[in-house]
Chains A and B, each alone.
Chain A
Amino acid sequence: MSGFQRVVSKDTAEKFYLKVALEFENPDTRIDSVQFRALVSKALHQLYGETGASIPVDILRFQDDTMEAILRVSGRSLVKVWSALTLLGEYAQEECAIRVTQVSPHLLALAVDSRHFFQNLPS
């Protein structure tokens, strides 16, 4: 292994990775990964109908305790998935909000959050 390998991706990115956090009105509400998948598909269905629900969204990771998830979508459908998640306001008769913390074409980039970089520094 000799040093670094440089990777240049031209054109639009094939896949996008989203790091999202789910919030409920009642902070004690918890859902599991299966319910989260249903929630994402409901969000897509309510904004884009059947065609939206057919967009493949991979849930790479879902953390039960913090309700944070990493999603993978194709670059073409990023705007659709993102806006569907933004406009979701309610799940299972409870108000909720999905906060998209990071969006990146590289999964590795989600390891560090430049938007909250200063917040995460150890003091």
Chain B
Amino acid sequence: MHVHRTTTTVPVFQYINNNREFGKMDTCDLHLLGNSDENALKLSLQCAARLGYGVVAIGYNCPVQEKQGGDKNKVKLPNAPAAVKLDGQTKAAVGVQSKGFKQLSRVNMVLSEGSETHKLRQDNIQSYDLLAVQPTTEKMFHMACTKLEIDIVCVDMTEKLPFYFKRVAINAAIERGLYFEIPYAPAIRDSTMRKNVLSNAMALITLCRGKNVIITSQATKPLEIRGPHDVANLGLLFGLSEQEAKNAVSTNCRAVLYHAATRRNTIKSVMSLQQIGDLSGKDRWKVKAGQEACGMSIQEGGDPTEDEGSGVVAQSLEGSEGRAKTSKRRKSKSKRNSVDEQSAMKRTRQDSAGVD
């Protein structure tokens, strides 16, 4: 297969596309508890939208598997649920602020032993936007920070930790672009949790020197959600500086989204594949250029309903930090697709796709 090199910057992810147009950093809340009842979740989402969040991720816990059950009653992780529909009033309120509101799904895995990490290789996990791991032992914490292909490390801060954070592990996590999550809703719920959250958060922040921290809500009800500016102010309480606190609800969260996108949608973090039918109008030229480069005949008009419509365009993601391990099966499948359907494969340089 011919691979053609150009030096054009091409927006890869839809999210980045949207953000460029508004030129304003979205604030994110990357953890609303999604296992609560649907109505409460809907109300929470609407509340978050009204408070001015641009991106909200709904966290689902992975079902715990019974030991003695065997393979028959194996609890399988369901696919990511669809986004919740918001009512017109909220949509109108978000609309006039001229900012979008984006819902993401995230899955939380509670892990305590190294032998449980096979759960991370389930196929369904790829259907969730974000992947978070909650380590319960020091060994697992170290492993999550240094080895696992995840986006967020969320230690249960509501209880006294059975281990201390180690600088080695945390430095490795920062190096790899993982982020640590600090929840604030438990601190609103009751006094004991508040003490634990505060002390754990402070311990974490001293060790990671304010880098790679995101503050999330973990709220179950609308009354437990606070506005982004209030949350940034809470960051000061946890020991972040003013800028770091702001980053913890905006820039860092965005970096998590980039990291997740690189982990999910790319082959070895180098290429991403996209159906030609899904391409926006201004990216169509890539197909044409790719076909020219491969020496194929150019179809006039570029009718997306033809065979060409199911082709695949690959984009390279040089400079991105996240390293995604895509299964061989998936890779070969996508390769086959692209060859069969005579799609143009093209490589473009993505200068700034990486985590900021």
Beyond A87-B187, A99-B51, A115-B52, whether A79 also contacts B233 by CB under 8 A is yes
CB closest residue in chain B, given A102: B229
Taking a contact as CB atoms under 8 Å apart, the answer to whether B93 and A97 are in contact is: no
Given known contacts A46-B191, A89-B224, A100-B227, A118 and B233 CB-to-CB distance under 8 angstroms: no
Is B234 an interface residue when CB atoms closer than 8 A count as contact?
yes
Chain A neighbourhood of B91, CB < 8 A: none
Q: How many whole Å from B202's CB to the nearest CB in chain A?
A: 13
B310 to chain A, nearest CB (A): 41
Contacts of A68 in B (CB 8 A): none
Interface presence of B188 (CB below 8 A): yes
* Least distance between A12 CB and chain B CB atoms (Å): 12
- The B211-227 residues at the A interface (CB cut-off 8 A) are 221, 223-227
How many residues of chain A are within 8 Å of chain B by beta carbon?
Answer: 22
CB-based nearest B residue for A117: B97
B interface SS class? helix
Q: Which residues of B contact A119 (CB under 8 A)?
A: 93, 96-97
Determine the distance from Cα of A121 to Cα of B93 in the docked complex, in whole angstroms.
Answer: 12
A83 close to B96 (CB less than 8 A): no
A76-119 near B? 1/0 per residue, CB < 8 Å: 00010011001111000001110110010000000000011011
Bound Cα distance A50, B184 (Å)? 23
6 contacting pairs across A/B (C-beta < 8 A): A79-B236, A82-B230, A86-B231, A87-B194, A100-B230, A121-B96
B-side interface size class: 20 to 34
In the complex, what's the smallest C-beta–C-beta distance from A55 to chain B, in angstroms? Answer: 15
Chain B residues with CB under 8 Å of chain A are: 51-52, 93, 96-98, 184, 187-191, 194, 221, 223-227, 229-231, 233-234, 236-237
CB-defined contacts of A47 to chain B, threshold 8 Å: 194
How far is it, in angstroms, between the C-alpha of A96 and the C-alpha of B231 when the chains are bound?
17
Shortest CB distance B224–A (Å):
7
Beta-carbon contact of B233 and A89 below 8 Å: no
A118 x B236 contact (CB < 8 A)? no
A-B contact number at CB 8 A: 54
B residues in contact with A46, CB < 8 Å: 191
Cα–Cα distance between A25 and B223 once the two chains are bound (Å): 7
Q: A79-B233, A83-B237, A118-B98 are in contact. Are A89 and B188 (CB under 8 A)?
A: yes
- The answer for the CA separation of A99 and B50 in the assembled complex, in Å, is 11
Say yes or no: B233 contacts A95, CB within 8 Å. no
Q: How far is the CA of A47 from the CA of B227 in the complex (A)?
A: 19
Task: Evaluate contact between A96 and B236: CB separation under 8 angstroms.
Answer: no
A83 touches B223 (CB 8 A): no
Question: Provided the pairs A99-B51, A103-B229, A119-B96 are in contact, do residues A86 and B223 lie with their beta carbons within 8 angstroms?
Answer: no
Contacts of B226 in A (CB 8 A): 86, 97, 99
Contacts of B233 in A (CB 8 A): 79, 82-83, 86
Task: Please list the 3 inter-chain residue pairs (A to B) with the smallest Cβ-Cβ separation, ordered nearest first.
Answer: A89-B188, A86-B230, A118-B96
A121 contact set on B, CB distance < 8 A? 96
Q: Give bound CA distance, A82 to B229, whole Å.
A: 10
Q: A83-B236, A99-B51 are in contact. List 11 more A-B contacts (CB 8 A).
A: A82-B230, A83-B233, A83-B237, A87-B194, A87-B234, A89-B189, A89-B223, A95-B221, A115-B52, A118-B96, A121-B96
Contacts of A79 in B (CB 8 A): 233, 236-237
Q: How far is the CB of A39 from chain B (nearest CB, A)?
A: 14
Find chain B residues with CB under 8 A from A118 CB.
Answer: 96-98
Closest to A120 in B: B96
Q: Which residues of A contact B97 (CB under 8 A)?
A: 116, 118-119
CB proximity of B197 to chain A, nearest CB, Å: 10
Q: Taking the nearest CB of chain A, how far is it from the CB of B179, in angstroms?
A: 22
A75 → chain B closest CB, angstroms: 14
Cβ–Cβ < 8 Å partners of A103 in chain B: 229
Contacts of B98 in A (CB 8 A): 118
Question: A23 to B224, alpha carbons, bound, how many Å?
Answer: 11
Which parts of A45-89 form the interface with B (CB within 8 Å)? 46-47, 79, 82-83, 86-89
